Amino acid sequence: MLLNNILCVHQVHSSRTRFTDGCYDGLYPGHIHTTPIQKALLAVGSGVAALQNPYRHDMVAVLGETTGHLALINLREKMRNDPEGYTILTERPRIRLSTLNLSEMSSLPDGSFGREYCRFLEDNHVTPDSRADVKYVDNEELAYVMQRYREVHDLLHTLLGMPTNMLGEVAVKWFEAAQTGLPMCTLGAVLGPLRLNPSRLQQLFTSLGPWALHNGRRARCVLSIFYERRWEQNIEDLRQELNIEPPPVILSATKK
Provide DSSP, 96-147: STTT--HHHHHTSPTTBHHHHHHHHHHHHT--GGGSPPP-S-SSHHHHHHHH
Q: Is 154 annotated as a binding residue?
A: yes
- Please answer whether residues 200 and 167 qualify as being in contact, where contact means their C-beta atoms are separated by less than 8 angstroms: yes
Q: Is 169 annotated as a binding residue?
A: yes
Domain boundaries, the chain: 36-242
> Taking the alpha carbons of 88, 90, 92, 93 in that order, is the dihedral positive or negative?
negative
Q: From CA 185, how far away is CA 61, in angstroms rounded?
A: 11
Q: From CA 144, how far away is CA 88, in angstroms rounded?
A: 10
- The pLDDT of 241-255, averaged and rounded, is 85
Q: Which amino acid is at 178?
A: A
Q: Is 57 annotated as a binding residue?
A: no
Enter the pTM of the model. 0.86
pLDDT in tens, 165-207: 999 999 999 999 999 999 999 988 998 898 899 999 999 999 9
Q: Is 10 annotated as a binding residue?
A: no
Question: What confidence score (pLDDT) does residue 13 get?
Answer: 35
pLDDT in tens, 105-163: 999 999 999 999 999 999 999 999 988 899 999 999 999 999 999 999 999 999 999 99
